Chains A and B, each alone.
Chain A
């Protein structure tokens, strides 16, 4: 597995959606859940797969005819790395968040 050189917010969103469940996730559902354009999500999925963070497979649903859906799941290493990235991202957001307004106790 190769490290991600540039972790964007969109990438973090994709990782979060995929970490949300244990089953393989449909690509279109990731687009829907992240609320980001398909032109942003498709390249991220392709890059993650190229770097062995995720794998993909065709949906095997005999009830559905026509073109098959593509389902994505993490590799074992990918899931671990994704959790680390999401945790790091959350921690950084907490650190950079503005302090809540309050009174300073001096005595």
Chain B
């Protein structure tokens, strides 16, 4: 039995669940000792033990059968843990709901404020931003008359004949 194999085996045993540490330790030590007798490498046994330990500890190893039931029972029989988990979830839900309601209320207030800025004035309702220092200029499109067009390339102004309805005003 090489020292390295023994070290790996010791690590595998120490990482094993406490309930099976003793049995695994003795079984694997016997296998490590007798491996050369069967023409096998002690190191392969030691690494096999380590792999077994990691498999039994890993989260991907789903407990089956009796162990699965035991796991469920352990959780069910832990009221303090269940209460703590439930309380935490409830608090998170309450805070999240409060934040959402608050944000919704604030948004409503802002929109209401924007409407209040222009709804009471004469002419059409205009939308503006409350961030701007000056209120937006109001333009009554119903009285707007297009008098001409400007060519952006040349700057030439061309008169446009007003619509008969606009001309009558």
Contact = CB atoms under 8 A, between A and B. Distances in A.
Contact of A42 (B38, B49, B66): B49
Interface residues of B, number: 28
Interface residues on A, range: 20 to 34
Contact of B50 (A39, A41, A58, A66): A39
Interface string B19-48: 010010111011101110011100011011
B55 interface: yes
Give the most central of A29, A31, A51: most B CB within 10 Å: A31
B48 A28 contact: no
A37 interface: yes
A67 B22 CA distance: 11
Contacts of B33: 66-67
Give the most central of A32, A38, A43, A70: most B CB within 10 Å: A38
B27 A27 contact: yes
B56 A46 contact: yes
A29 B30 CA distance: 12
Nearest to B65: A2
B72 interface: no
B163 interface: no
B51 interface: yes
A46 to B, nearest CB: 7
B66 A2 contact: yes
Interface in A1-55: 2, 5, 27-29, 31-32, 37-43, 46-47, 50-51
A68 interface: yes
Give the most central of A28, A29, A47, A50: most B CB within 10 Å: A28
B38 A32 contact: yes
A43 to B, nearest CB: 5
A38 B44 contact: yes
Interface of B: 20, 23, 25-27, 29-31, 33-35, 38-40, 44-45, 47-52, 55-56, 64-67
Interface of A: 2, 5, 27-29, 31-32, 37-43, 46-47, 50-51, 58, 66-70
13 contacts: A28-B35, A28-B40, A28-B45, A31-B31, A31-B40, A32-B38, A32-B40, A37-B48, A38-B31, A39-B50, A42-B49, A50-B64, A70-B26
